Amino acid sequence: MAITFKLFELVDGKTRSISFSPAVWRAKFALMHKKVPYETVPLTFLELPSAITAACLNIDTPTVPTLQLENGDGLRDSFAIAEYLEEKYPDRPSLFGKSQGEKNLQRFFESYVQSKLHPSIQRMVFQGMYEMQDSENAHYFRSSREKSSGRPHKEIAGDRAANLKELKENLGLVHKALLETGGWILGDQPGWADFVLASSFVWFSSCAPKEFQEGVLEAFDDKVFPNYWDKVQQYIK
């Protein structure tokens, strides 16, 4: 099958091989679930603006993920990309289920992950993301995060123990859901909700592997999250 899509993604500045953005991974999971071939365009923080606007003339505010379509236009935002794929390939595995209600529930789960899991993960991955950059990208990353948070570099990560405690508390409902389904968030087959959660885990494990091990895989006295993480590996390339 011919490759007609290009996905612009964010990678580390040192090796240019670590794709860590959870937003990008949502799009990658969606493409793989829909069995749509694509190629990636790896970019660092500083390369991103000019590369995307040069390739996709309809984009004036570049962000990742951006999917370049067959006509050369760029489509931003992981959810918009997922909706596009769902409409374009209705005969392939569904991302959102059979009803609007299922889609709405998955969007609710997405909001839960972003509001309850991401804050503590973001603090724990901060130093790892910084250390993954070359000097120019590290300077950009540090200064932009200090400006947005209003705090100096050394204070952004916060207290490790407090971060892990907060994450475990907020993972409780997710753990319960997986325990009840016995598989994916949706049951036997994955969908958008799973790809949102899995993308957060890819981000966490890529940038703070020790904290991911302790904060997710060893957070509960069972194999629910380790088994879930094993299932996710089939989608990670």
pLDDT in the model for residue 225: 98
Give the distance, in angstroms, between the CA of residue 36 and the centroid of all CA atoms in the same chain: 18
Q: Is 187 helix (H, G, I), strand (E, B) or coil?
A: strand
In which residue are the tokens 């950009």 written? 140
CA count, 13 A, side-chain hemisphere, 174? 30
Domains with residue ranges and CATH for the chain: 5-88 (3.40.30.10), 100-235 (1.20.1050.10)
Confidence tier at 182 by pLDDT (50, 70, 90): confident
Say how far apart CA 187 and CA 183 lie, in whole Å. 5
In which residue are the tokens 């409902």 written? 173
Q: What are the backbone dihedrals phi and psi of residue 40, each rounded to the nearest 5 degrees, phi first? A: -100, 150
What is the average pLDDT across 202-208? 98
Q: Is the pLDDT of residue 237 over 90?
A: no
Extended beta strands in the chain, E state: 5-10, 38-43, 66-68, 74-76
Q: In what order do the strands lie in the sheet with 74-76?
A: 38-43, 5-10, 66-68, 74-76
CB–CB of 39/6 below 8 Å? yes
CB–CB of 94/86 below 8 Å? yes
User: How are beta strands 66-68 and 5-10 bridged, if at all?
Assistant: antiparallel
pLDDT in the model for residue 4: 84
What is the pTM assigned to this prediction? 0.96
pLDDT in the model for residue 226: 97
Q: Is 67 helix (H, G, I), strand (E, B) or coil?
A: strand
End-to-end CA distance of the chain: 18
pLDDT in tens, 7-16: 999 999 999 9
pLDDT in tens, 27-86: 999 999 999 999 999 999 999 999 999 999 999 999 999 999 999 999 999 999 999 999
- For the four alpha carbons of 108, 111, 115 and 120, in that order, the dihedral sign comes to positive
